[in-house]
Amino acid sequence: MAVDLSMPVLVVDDYKTMVRIIRNLLKQIGFEDVDEASDGVEALSKLKERQYGLVISDWNMEPMTGYELLKQVRDDTDLSALPFIMVTAEAKSENVIAAKKAGVNNYIVKPFNAQTLKSKIDTVFDS
C-alpha cells in the first residue's frame, strides 16, 4: 500500500524548532496537510476532532510524554489502528522495547533527514 501524501499528519513535539524541522521534512517528501500539537494532551484533543493518517510524536514531552500519548491512542478504539512513529534523541533499548510493546509502528532517532523519515513512513505503510 502506497503512502497517501494527501492524508493529514499530526506532529507532536513541545520543541517548536523540532516541529518546524519535521514539518519541512514532511513537505520535502510531499505531504501537504501537516498539523501540530505541542504536547500529548493537545494531541489527544486534536485526534478526537479530526481524522489523521499518521502521528509523529516526540518521546520527551511535558506534561504527557509521547509514550503516554501512544498508550492512550492504542487504548482508544477509534484511534487504536492509527499509524504512530516515535521520535527520540536517544535510542535506549528499554525505550524502544517499551514503545514496541505499547504498539508503536516505527521509531526515529534524532537527528534525521527527509530520506530517513520517508523510509520510516514507507515501512509503516508497507507492513
Residue 96 CA to residue 52 CA, distance in Å, equals: 24
Q: In the prediction, which pLDDT does 98 show?
A: 92
Q: What is the pTM of this model?
A: 0.95
When pLDDT is cut at 50, 70 and 90, the band that residue 1 belongs to is low
The share of the chain scoring above pLDDT 70, in percent, equals 98
Mean pLDDT of the chain: 95
Average pLDDT for residues 24-53, to the nearest whole number? 97
Q: How confident is the model at residue 127 (pLDDT cuts 50, 70, 90)?
A: low
- For the cut 70, the answer to whether the pLDDT of residue 47 exceeds it is yes
Q: Where exactly are the structural domains of the chain?
A: 12-93
pLDDT above 90: residue 43: yes
CA dist., res. 20 & res. 14, Å (int):
11
Domain 12-93, classified CATH 3.90.1010.10, yes or no: no
Per residue in 74-107, pLDDT (tens digit) is: 999 999 999 999 998 887 889 889 999 999 999 9
Tell me which DSSP letter residue 98 carries: H
pLDDT of 49-76, one tens digit each?
Answer: 999 999 999 999 989 999 999 999 999 9
The cell numbers describing 92, all together, are: 535506549
